[in-house]
Amino acid sequence: MTKLNDYVKNYDIRGDMTLNELTSQMMDAGFQATNIGRAIETIKAMKEEKEITVILSFTANMMATGLRSIFAKMVKEKFVDVVITTGGSIDHDIILSHDKYGLGDFNMNDVELHKKGLNRLGNTLIPTDRYVLLEEKIKPIFEDVYKKNKTTNPSDLINEIGKTLKDDNSVLKWASKNDIPIFCPGITDSSIGLQMFFYKQDHPDFVVDVTGDMKKLANIVLLSKKTGGIILGGGVSKHHAIGVNVVRGGLDYAIYVTTAEQWDGSLSGARTNEAVSWGKIQEKARPVTVHGDATIVFPLIMSRFF
């Protein structure tokens, strides 16, 4: 019989076994379970580097779920050095530092929800009053920032917001405490962005300069001995994390967790190998793409490091 290097092994599962045992078994179980095992190995290798800048990137929808506390813990424990996300994440972190989101269903009647003032995000529900709260919280911060400096960068603004938050599950709070920059190149595409519009009506010289952050992020990457990426979801936050690494010949380590497909030529669906052609990920990196919803996949991966 043909001998092979590795073999598929059967699961042996019990409810009282630990996550460590499960994820060890996953490595040999095949298909995406194996990719969870391999993603863990890549993150281990990343973290064993003496000097490495680890970038965590994720999309805003994830911040509206139970994953928020996992991101917060990663920032609190300095597991990562840089965060890249979209504007909605800032909205959610502020609101969730003061109140909660509801849990519904993907198939609810959206016309009825709209009448009730419930905004549906997948199967989570955000009552409209949460955005009133956001407005209340963000205005005085704009005031403070504006008084200090009429021109700010997204990451500086986010840092100021983080200083005002007290929730232990806040990503922004811990980022501010630990001087971990949060980059948000598309920050105006959010409720905060709408608040900026209102604020700018009265303060036309209030300026949020995105080139400042580009410089800050590029310099961090250029000065890094090694870089690693933990990249959840697609879009601008994914591309920014890999794209900026072009300046140094690519990420040394990378994992993707995604639900997108590559056949439409989208950046969101592009596999790690496509990034190799661009020099966004290095050839010798140990990239892994795990296909699945981050709310299931990411707790499994991170459980090995907590």
Out of 47, 200, 280, 284, the active site residue is: 280
Contact code string over 247-286 relative to a second copy, x by CB under 8 A: x-----------xxxxxxxxxxxx--xx-xxxx---x---
* Stretch of residues binding a second copy (CB under 8 A), selected from 12-20, 46-54, 75-83, 173-181: 12-20
Site for a second copy in 181-200 (CB under 8 A): 185-190, 193-194, 196-197, 199-200
Site for a second copy in 49-78 (CB under 8 A): 59-62, 64-70
* Stretch of residues binding a second copy (CB under 8 A), selected from 29-37, 49-57, 75-83, 173-181: 29-37
CA 11/CA 26 separation, integer angstroms? 8
Residue 28 engages a second copy in binding (rule: CB under 8 A): yes
Residue 47 engages a second copy in binding (rule: CB under 8 A): no
Phi-psi sector, 8: left (phi>0), alpha (psi -120 to 50), beta = beta
| Single-letter residue type at 36 | I
Which one, 1 or 223, has the nearer CB to a second copy? Answer: 1
Site for a second copy in 132-161 (CB under 8 A): 133, 151
CA 35/CA 32 separation, integer angstroms? 5
CA 143/CA 136 separation, integer angstroms? 12
* Stretch of residues binding a second copy (CB under 8 A), selected from 47-55, 173-181, 223-231, 295-303: 295-303
Residue 120 engages a second copy in binding (rule: CB under 8 A): yes
Residue burial 29-54, b: 16+ Cβ < 10 Å; e: rest:
beeebbbbbbbbebbeebeeeeebbb
CA 176/CA 180 separation, integer angstroms? 6
Annotation says 280 is catalytic: yes
Site for a second copy in 227-246 (CB under 8 A): 233-236, 239-240, 243-244, 246
* Stretch of residues binding a second copy (CB under 8 A), selected from 3-11, 46-54, 158-166, 171-179: 3-11
Among 129, 135, 136, 143, binds a second copy (CB under 8 A): 129
Residue 83 engages a second copy in binding (rule: CB under 8 A): no
Which one, 50 or 224, has the nearer CB to a second copy? Answer: 224
Whats the size of the chain, residue-wise?
306
- Closest approach, Cβ 49 to a second copy, in A, equals 21
In the block, tokens 């609810």 appear at 108
- List phi, psi (to 5°) of 205: -95, 10
**Angle between the N-to-C axes of helices 31-48 and 294-303, in degrees from 0 to 180, rounded to the nearest 10:** 50
Q: Is the dihedral of CA 80, 81, 82, 88 positive or negative?
A: positive
Which H or E element spans position 288? strand 288-291
Residues with catalytic roles: 280
